[in-house]
Chain A
Amino acid sequence: MGKETFYEVMKRQGVTRRSFLKFCSLTAASLGLAPSFAAKIAGAMETKPRTPVVWLHGLECTCCSESFIRSAHPLAKDVVLSMLSLDYDDTLMAAAGHQAEEIITNIRQKYKGNFILAVEGNPPLNEDGMYCIHGGRPFVEVLRETAADAKAIISWGSCASWGCVQAAKPNPTRATPVHKVITDKPIIKVPGCPPIAEVMTAVVTYMLTFDRIPELDRQGRPKMFYGQRIHDKCYRRPHFDAGQFVEQWDDEFARRGYCLYKMGCKGPTTYNACSTVRWNGGVSFPIQSGHGCIGCSEDGFWDKGGFYDRVTGIQQFGIESNADKVGIAAATVVTAGVVAHAAASALKRARDTSGERDKTDQSNSTGGN
């Protein structure tokens, strides 16, 4: 089993040559590569022994897995799974208990320093990690142990990448993103709640095919999918530039599909591929369905107040505050202060002037030197 190539595995799974090549060209296209790369991908898949992927689940909701198994355009789900040689994923695999846990140990020994660790969810650190138990042990221990032998780590979703809702203030379990626990391994963040299925499969395919990590931005996200904002490629962008906005959820402008900026759409501040790759096999994405982007792939999106506010909340000034409200209040107070100060100054000046006049009168009357 160890020396099987990707293609052999796929063939064993009943994937035709035609489907295999189709997958290779689609993957090349989704990675933004030239058509010639389709052959390279095919070549790599035919000759390289597959790299196993261990998929661990921490504190999460499994939406990443749900998204992943719906990947439509690399191929049908079973092919994707075999292609990825997902050797361990407690949610998806048939094995359970000690039998399942043995797989991790086996892979760690057999492929030491040569397997990819995919982490869905994050480890909670409070109470020695007891808020998330994996096979009778705190998840954080399993994560550290497995990561020590991995080649690279993929942080699936906003949980593993940023912390997400379980890390929302006050974060009682101290749910902590993976990169703050594992600091000595290359980490690829694939944020989103969940990430787009095609993005997930493409990132893994890229790493297995080219045997390297895709180009990352400073925050560790693959540039090819997180290099642009939703806003940059949004099909409603012309309405934004024209100044045509949905003012209320049930108004005429909502029916006409105007820009959702005023409804708190976070497209202008969210880096993701939703507006190009879209969801469910390219059927739609939130904005196309008439709802603004909530910025689910951005750090801290869960703690920024309402999803329906353009200028987002600032907790320090009360839950209903935002920068503009605070600013208008401050400017009003300052203006009021200025008016009051001006009145007081005028009063003081009037008093001083009359006082000086009195003094001058006095000195004149007493007859100076």
Chain B
Amino acid sequence: MSVETTRDETKAGDSPSAISKVSSSGGEPAWDETEETAAGVTLYVYEWAVRAWHWMNALCLIVLAVTGYFISNPLPTMPGEASESFAMGYIRFTHFATAYIFAVIFLGRIYWALMGNKYARQLFWLPILDRAWWRGLVRELRWYAFLDKHPVKYIEHNPLAHLSMFLAITLGGVFMIVTGFAMYGEGAQDGSWAHTMFSSWVIPLFGQSQNVHTGHHMVAWFVVCFMIVHVYVSIREEIMLQQTNISAMITGTRTFRK
């Protein structure tokens, strides 16, 4: 794809910062880049709270997925008297305790979206009225379908990553927290905060408890699929785009190597 086409595309409407200006440096640029995303530039993107949340969230999701699976598909029967083991109890406790942490850091992340830099807000905001964003999304799809030779560089998440992150982490997270606490409230029973705040309206909304369980499972698997793709794409773009991705989530800085 030629640079000219990209320039035309990006001129209309408010374009994302990353592709607002096309590099005018000599020769034939391999990338659609701005001065900000030019080779050698290092930018501070992910603040400490975002990084801390990211890794804690990742750990929570893994623990929740594994314990969640074993709640619906329990381990083989434990030997001995019932009083001698508490296998299911411990698995459920781990799931519930982790779920509380997951929910609390999710709230913390919302707080940081308000307090942090502009990149911290991306997770909670989908610019669906921005035509340039939609065009960017199509370009990303073309890039991943091997139809475009060169990718667009972004300081923040690209539109496709932005969309999938919003669906899986933001909407998925809210869904899991709401349905999860609704089921937790069933065990905690009438009068508990979880029952009052969640079970009392979520269970009737879904018709019955079993439907809430099924929904919780489906979205859990969706989030697992997201995680698989997320890890793959992070590594892939670290190589293909020659920019820091994985270390960016540790140090907070994004460096464009090329």
Binding site for B on A (CB under 8 A): 217-219, 223, 227-229, 232, 238-245, 247, 253, 258, 261-262, 266, 268-271, 295, 298-301, 304, 310-312, 314, 322-324, 326-328, 330-331, 334-335, 338, 341-342, 344-345, 348-349, 352, 356
Contacts and interface: CB of A to CB of B under 8 A. Distances in A.
Contacts of A331: 221, 224-225, 228
Interface string B125-153: 00000000000000000001010010000
B197 interface: no
B225 A229 contact: no
Contacts of A328: 221
A345 B236 contact: yes
A342 B73 CA distance: 32
A225 to B, nearest CB: 13
Interface stretch (B8-16, B76-84, B94-102): B76-84
Contacts of A227: 189-190
Contacts of B156: none
Contacts of A295: 208, 210
A238 B83 contact: yes
Given A218-B201, A326-B218, A299 B207 contact: yes
B248 interface: no
B85 A327 contact: no
Interface residues of B, number: 49
Given A243-B88, A261-B74, A300 B211 contact: yes
B5 interface: no
Given A242-B85, A243-B78, A244-B82, A334 B208 contact: no
Top 10 nearest A-B pairs (CB, nearest first) are A327-B221, A243-B87, A323-B217, A269-B209, A243-B88, A242-B82, A241-B89, A238-B82, A269-B210, A298-B208
B217 A311 contact: yes
A140 B211 CA distance: 30
Given A244-B77, A324-B217, A326-B218, A338 B208 contact: no
A204 to B, nearest CB: 23
A281 to B, nearest CB: 27
Given A241-B89, A242-B86, A242-B87, A330 B78 contact: no
B170 interface: no
Contacts of B200: 217-218
Contact of B214 (A271, A323, A330, A352): A323
Contacts of A258: 77
A324 to B, nearest CB: 6
B77 A247 contact: yes
Given A244-B78, A244-B82, A299-B207, A269 B88 contact: no
A335 B144 CA distance: 16
Interface string B167-208: 000000000000000000011011000000000110110011
A330 B218 CA distance: 10
A240 B89 CA distance: 8
Contacts of B209: 229, 268-271, 298
Given A243-B88, A253-B77, A331-B228, A312 B210 contact: yes
B210 A266 contact: yes
Contact of A262 (B74, B83, B218, B239): B74
Given A243-B75, A253-B77, A218 B218 contact: no
B119 to A, nearest CB: 26
A171 B53 CA distance: 49
B87 A348 contact: no
Contacts of B82: 238-239, 241-242, 244
Given A218-B200, A324-B72, A341-B232, A300 B189 contact: no
Contacts of B84: 242
Nearest to B218: A323
A105 B87 CA distance: 62
Given A223-B190, A229-B186, A269-B209, A314 B225 contact: no
Nearest to A269: B209
A299 B221 contact: no
B208 A247 contact: no
Contact of A298 (B76, B210, B214, B217): B210
Given A243-B86, A304-B210, A338-B228, 11 more contacts: A218-B204, A228-B189, A242-B84, A242-B86, A243-B77, A311-B213, A312-B213, A323-B221, A334-B228, A334-B229, A338-B229
